[in-house]
Amino acid sequence: MEQGTVTTIREVSEADFATEVVEASRTRPVVVDFWAPWCGPCHQLSPLLERVAAGHVGEVDVVKVNVDEAQGVARTLGVQGIPAVMAFRDGRVVNQFTGVKPEQVVAQFFAALAPSQADRLTAAAAVAADDEAREELLDRALAATADHPGAVVGKARLLAARGAPEQARGLLARVPGDVEAQRLLAELALARQDVDEEELTRLRAAADAGDASARLQLGRSLAAAGRHEEALPELVAAVRHPTTREEARAVVLDVFALLGPEHPAVAQWRPRLAAALF
């Protein structure tokens, strides 16, 4: 659909609001037009929203909510005057305005929500036919936005797969707070490998005899083998020893990052790590 045409904005009820707006905004932004049939300015704003929304089909969803029929939602969100327009992203309100605004203002409101050039190139890379095409798109995304998290992580994964982990780590340094970047750094730190059961038995015996370095190596080896729930008790035990405390702590945090905050093992062992440290 081309810019300037009109698209129909669907109605969302109070019962559907959590699913159709809050949860849906975790996939792509949702703009909500709060209105009522008796509101004259609402009827002025509605066609303007439809016209601007037509330029963002597939990038920003737009819905209408009748405040007379969704008083609970309106009250929860603090809607005091209508028309009121709220933009949701990742489950929360990120921008809003009240009243009828010039079309240029509404267009800027939508433009701020729409994907950037780097967003579009990174999305295209995710479905590219091969690594060569994927890398070309990611390089273009990084040229547009050097610290775009999705492009950084995507290119870093290609570098890691190519056998260039140090280059991957250098690239990931551009997005230090990104969860997926931290996960990939943890993967690189705990490069998966097969382990020799005889070597594990030797390390266990040494650890049980009081060798803190052996316990740390045992935990690291188990983690590298993907046996994270076996690794964590050994690593946290190594945290308790002053000679292996900091190194073991770093490996535990890598395991946590690799598993993700929702993993049961992370919930179980995070407080135990804190207790071991303090």
Query: Over pLDDT 70: what percentage of the chain?
Result: 96
- Residues 202, 228 within the same domain: yes
- Residues 26, 105 within the same domain: yes
CATH number of the domain that 256 lies in?
1.25.40.10
- Residues 56, 76 within the same domain: yes
Asked if residue 181 belongs to a domain, the reply is yes
Q: For residue 43, what are the CA distances in angstroms to 9, 36, 79, 111, 115?
A: 13, 9, 17, 23, 28
At 39, the pLDDT band (50, 70, 90 cuts) reads: very high
At 7, the pLDDT band (50, 70, 90 cuts) reads: low
- Residues 96, 137 within the same domain: no
Asked if residue 255 belongs to a domain, the reply is yes
What pLDDT is recorded for position 27? 87
Which of 189, 205, 226 is the endpoint of a domain? 189
Asked if residue 49 belongs to a domain, the reply is yes
- Residues 21, 85 within the same domain: yes
Asked if residue 127 belongs to a domain, the reply is yes
The pLDDT tens digits of the residues spanning 50-68 come to 999 998 888 899 999 999 9
- Residues 219, 170 within the same domain: no
Tell me the CB-side half-sphere exposure of residue 188, using CA atoms within 13 A. 24
Contact status, residue 220 vs residue 243, Cβ threshold 8 Å = no
How does the average pLDDT of the chain come out, rounded?
Answer: 91
Answer whether residue 3 shows pLDDT above 50.
Answer: no
Which of 63, 85, 111 is the endpoint of a domain? 111
The pLDDT tens digits of the residues spanning 99-136 come to 999 999 999 999 989 888 898 899 999 999 899 999 99
- Residues 183, 136 within the same domain: yes
Which of these is catalytic: 9, 39, 82, 184? 39
Asked if residue 1 belongs to a domain, the reply is no
Answer whether residue 216 shows pLDDT above 50.
Answer: yes
Q: Which residues have C-beta within 8 Å of that of residue 239, sequence separation ≥ 6?
A: 245, 248, 249, 252, 273, 276, 277
Task: Convert 243-258 to b/e letters by CB count within 10 Å (16 or more is b).
Answer: ebbeebbebbbbbbbb
Whether 42 is catalytic is: yes
Coil, strand or helix at 11: strand
Give me the mean pLDDT over the 22-43 stretch. 94
CA-nearest of 182, 193, 191, 190 to 260 is 182
What pLDDT is recorded for position 2? 42
CATH number of the domain that 33 lies in?
3.40.30.10
When mean pLDDT is compared across 35-44, 132-141, 195-204, the lowest value belongs to 195-204
Which of these is catalytic: 42, 73, 153, 216? 42
- Residues 82, 103 within the same domain: yes
Give me the mean pLDDT over the 65-88 stretch. 95
What pLDDT is recorded for position 197? 87
- Residues 246, 173 within the same domain: no
Asked if residue 59 belongs to a domain, the reply is yes
Number of domains in the chain: 3
Which of 189, 223, 245 is the endpoint of a domain? 189
Contact status, residue 64 vs residue 1, Cβ threshold 8 Å = no
Domain limits for position 178: 117-189
At 8, the pLDDT band (50, 70, 90 cuts) reads: low
Asked if residue 3 belongs to a domain, the reply is no
- Residues 214, 267 within the same domain: yes
Asked if residue 221 belongs to a domain, the reply is yes
- Residues 104, 146 within the same domain: no
- Residues 28, 60 within the same domain: yes
